[in-house]
Every structure is written in C-alpha cells, then in structure tokens.
C-alpha cells in the first residue's frame, strides 16, 4: 500500500506508459494510491507493465493498446477504459510522443530534404499534438460529468526556446497552446490543465544513443550539471496531478535542471 496515498482510489490514464518517462509517471501515480491504465502501441508491453505496477503498488491496473495518432484508436481506448473504471477518469497524462529520430531532431529547416518536409512535420505533429487533442476530447466528458479532473501534458524545453529540429519543436509548442486553451475553457468545470517542459532526461531513447562526450556536454548545460531521471519527471507529474497543485492551472513547469530560467 502507498505510504502517501494522495491519489487513493483515483483513476489515471497515461499514454506512452509501457517504458521510459511514461512508465515512471505511471509508477509514481500508482505509488500515491492511484489506479492506472497503461497505454502504448504494444499490447504485450502494456500488459506486462500494468501487471508489474499492480504487484509493486497494490492498485488496480490495466494495459491497453492504443495509437494516439488515430482518433478511432483513441475512441476504442476510452471505450475499454470506461468499462474498466466505471466511466471514471481523474487524471490524464498525455505523454505519448513520436519516436526520437536523429535525422529529424538534428536537421535545421534549410537542410531538410524537400521531399521529406511534409512527412516529417505532419507525422510528428500527428502524434505529439493531435494525439493530445484526441485524448483530451475523449477525456473531457468523463471529467465534466464529475466536475473534476487533472490533465498533464508532456512538452519540452525547445517549445519554450526553440531548437534546430523544427518538427518536434513545433509539435511540442502546439501542446502548450492546447493546454492553455483547456485550462481557460474548463476551469469552470474544476478541470485543471498544466504541462511539463522537459529538458535532458536520461532514457534509452536519448541518453543511450549518445557517445560519452555528448552525454557530458548535455549534462553540463544545466546548472545542476547532470541529466534528469524519469523518476524525477514522475514526481513533477504527481504534483500537477494531485491537490498539491490545487490552485494551479494553465502553467508550464520546466523540468530541466535549471537550463531554462524564466
């Protein structure tokens, strides 16, 4: 059982949660007593993650396959979620993102292949931005009915300051625009929306693809002189998903060791 059950008996849906940052968020919320639905594109990985979380934290879990870039997949996801939770959803964490592809992330616009620009931008946007739209659209009726809900969007520091990988920057900036609109429109329904802007977080998708010199260089960017961990992102998500942040909505919490200061 949780030592600090601040989300006891609540229900959370975390997208992209079978591994990495999403998995850490699911673990952290479960550790606070929350029942969690784990989603990703791989059903086997979802079910394995859900089973392990249930065993570790003694909460109810379910693993559900979903592709956030496809609205019909999200409709089906929420149908299964409603059956499992009794149509209850207290927390939505929009974490699923387009896979980190170095050729997109490291290519400035002028150097982008002309025949790839459309696919690069629309595919990343479809997962990161529209995926958050589809999930929010399905979550809002459940939250409005109970007049309560917390939505946490996962963005990144390039959305605040820019970077050379335009498709990711643009998509993550769009997520912040969505968050602000949701916060403004649905505060009257006691639905709060906030975002995490992540810096260099140590995951297989980032850290393990770099050589030692690159790892050290990126760590040195932050005043704390290190990479962040998925567990630290989980703690920040828990803050926004709980009543610890009960009078906070429409805000961006930067989790990057102090690189971006504003």
Catalytic residues: 168
Check if the beta carbon of residue 192 is closer than 8 Å to that of residue 185: no
- Which residue from 67, 34, 27, 28 is spatially nearest to 49, judged by alpha carbons? 27
- Which residue from 183, 179, 202 is spatially nearest to 257, judged by alpha carbons? 202
Residue 13: which H helix or E strand, with range? strand 11-14
Check if the beta carbon of residue 51 is closer than 8 Å to that of residue 28: no
- Pairing between β-strand 252-255 and β-strand 11-14 as defined by DSSP bridges: unpaired
Check if the beta carbon of residue 61 is closer than 8 Å to that of residue 11: no
Sign of the dihedral defined by the CA atoms of residues 191, 60, 3, 203, in that order:
negative
27-30: long-range contacts (C-beta < 8 A, 24 or more apart)? 27/53, 27/56, 27/57, 27/231, 27/234, 28/231, 28/234, 28/235, 28/237, 28/238, 29/91, 29/93, 29/234, 29/237, 29/238, 29/241, 30/2, 30/54, 30/56, 30/57, 30/59, 30/61
Residue 171: which H helix or E strand, with range? helix 166-186
With tokens 């979380």, the residue in question is 53
Tokens of 46: 């979802």
């Amino acid at each position: 059982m949780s030592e600090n059950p601040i989300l006891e008996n609540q229900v959370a849906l975390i997208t992209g949660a079978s591994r990495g940052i999403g998995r850490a968020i699911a673990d952290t919320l479960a550790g606070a007593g929350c029942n969690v639905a784990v989603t990703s594109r791989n059903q086997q990985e979802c079910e394995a993650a859900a089973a392990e979380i249930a065993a570790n934290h003694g909460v109810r879990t379910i693993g559900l396959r979903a592709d956030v870039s496809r609205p019909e997949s999200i409709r089906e996801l929420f149908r299964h979620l409603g059956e499992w939770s009794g149509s209850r959803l207290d927390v939505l964490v929009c974490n699923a993102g387009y896979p980190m592809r170095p050729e997109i992330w490291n290519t400035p616009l002028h150097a982008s292949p002309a025949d790839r620009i459309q696919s690069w931008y629309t595919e990343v946007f479809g997962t990161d931005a529209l995926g958050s739209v589809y999930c929010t659209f399905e979550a809002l009726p459940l939250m409005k009915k109970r007049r309560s809900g917390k939505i946490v969007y996962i963005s990144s520091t390039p959305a605040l300051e820019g970077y050379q990988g335009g498709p990711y920057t643009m998509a993550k900036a769009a997520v912040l625009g969505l968050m602000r609109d949701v916060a403004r429109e649905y505060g009257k329904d006691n639905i709060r929306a906030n975002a995490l802007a992540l810096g260099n977080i140590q995951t297989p998708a980032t850290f393990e693809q770099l050589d030692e010199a690159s790892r050290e260089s990126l760590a040195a960017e932050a005043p704390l002189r290190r990479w962040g961990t998925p567990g630290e992102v989980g703690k920040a998500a828990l803050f926004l998903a709980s009543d610890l942040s009960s009078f906070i909505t429409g805000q961006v919490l930067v989790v990057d060791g102090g690189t971006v200061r504003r």
